[in-house]
Amino acid sequence: MDKLSNPQKTIEVLKKYQFNFQKKFGQNFLIDAHVLDKIIQAAEITREDFVLEIGPGIGTLTQYLAEAAGQVTAVEIDGHLIPILEDTLSAYDNVTVINQDVLKLDINQLAMEKNGGKPIKVVANLPYYITTPIIMGLFESGVPLKSLTVMVQKEVAERMQARPGGKDYGALSLAVQYYAEPYLAANVPPNCFMPRPNVGSAVIRLTRYETPPVAVKDEHLMFGIIRAAFNQRRKTLVNALANASELSMTKEQVLAALEALGYSKTIRGEALSLKEFAELANYFAKE
C-alpha cells in the first residue's frame, strides 16, 4: 500500500470502500505530506516510543507513526473504518487498532499493558467536537504521559498557549498550563484536509510536567476559583468570586485575600497568572 498522504490516494481508498464521511465524528482526513512530517517532527517520535493515536481515520497519520515509533495503538470509533485500516496498515506489524470511543477507553490500563506503565506519547488529528474532554481527561486521569501532539482548531490552540491579559486567556489556558508546557508547531489551512473544515487548524505539542509549575494545596479549589473568575470575566475578581455559587466566599473575605496578597481591589481574573491563582487558592485553603 502506497502512502495515503495525497488527495488521489485518499480518494482511491474512499471510493474502493464506498466510505461516507460522518460529520458527527469530526472526520476531516489529512491529505498533505508536509503537515504529516511536521506532526512527526513536533512529537519527536523515536523507536523508543509507544504512541497512542486517537482517531486514525483511514490510517494516513498512522502510517507515518508506524514508520517512526516502536509501537502504535490507534483508537477509532467508526466501525466502517476498521476494514479500511486493516488494508492500509497491513504492511506494519507494530500497529494495533481498537474500535472504541476513546472517552470510554481505560488509557491507564492500556499504558500499563502496552508500555509497562512508562510515559506514552499521544499523537492525533483530533475530532474537534471533543478536543477539550480528550485533552483534559488525559491530564486529569493521571495517565503516564510524555507529551500530547495534536491538531486542534486554531483558536483552541491559541487559547491553550495564551498568557494573562489577552482575549484568548481563560480557564482552558490555565488548566492546560498547569499540566503541560505548550508549543505551537504549525498553523494548518483548511485545504490540507478532506473534506475541508470551516475553521483554521494548528498543531500544538503539550509536554507534560513531571510536577506542576506551581504548588497548590487544593487543586479542586483553585480550578473552582479559576472557573468562577472567567465565568464572569467582565466583573472584578471580587464580585465574580463572591457571586459564584460553587464557592462559599464573602466579598469581605475576597477583599481581605487580595489585600493580603498585594493585589488591587479592582483586579479582574484575566490579569492573574497561574502562580497568582495558586497563591489565592492557597490563601483560602489555609483559612
Q: Which residues of the chain form contacts with ligand SAM (CB under 6 A)?
A: 25-30, 54-57, 60-61, 75-78, 81, 101-103, 125, 127, 130
Look at residues 233, 240, 232 and name the one whose alpha carbon lies nearest to residue 280. Answer: 240
Q: How far is the CB of 122 from ligand SAM (least distance, A)?
A: 12
Beta-carbon contacts of 167 under 8 Å, excluding residues fewer than 6 positions away, are: none
Which of residues 75 and 180 has its CB atom nearest to ligand SAM in the complex? 75
| Amino acid sitting at position 240 | A
Is 28 known to sit in a ligand binding site?
yes
DSSP conformational letter for 107: H
**Which three cell numbers, joined as nine digits, stand for 266?**
479592582
Which of residues 26 and 164 has its CB atom nearest to ligand SAM in the complex? 26
**Which three cell numbers, joined as nine digits, stand for 141?**
486521569
Which of residues 122 and 222 has its CB atom nearest to ligand SAM in the complex? 122
- Residue with smallest beta-carbon separation from ligand SAM: 55
Angle, CA 58 vertex, CA 152 and CA 87 arms, to 5°: 155
Q: Are 32 and 10 in contact (CB under 8 A)?
A: no
Is 93 known to sit in a ligand binding site?
no
Look at residues 10, 13, 1, 12 and name the one whose alpha carbon lies nearest to residue 36. Answer: 10
Which of residues 45 and 54 has its CB atom nearest to ligand SAM in the complex? 54
Q: How far is the CB of 128 from ligand SAM (least distance, A)?
A: 7
Q: Are 29 and 51 in contact (CB under 8 A)?
A: no
Q: How far is the CB of 269 from ligand SAM (least distance, A)?
A: 32
Is 30 known to sit in a ligand binding site?
yes
Q: How far is the CB of 171 from ligand SAM (least distance, A)?
A: 23
Q: How far is the CB of 5 from ligand SAM (least distance, A)?
A: 9
Which of residues 27 and 147 has its CB atom nearest to ligand SAM in the complex? 27
Look at residues 1, 128, 4 and name the one whose alpha carbon lies nearest to residue 64. Answer: 4
Q: State the binding site for S-adenosyl-L-methionine.
A: 28, 30, 55, 76, 101, 125
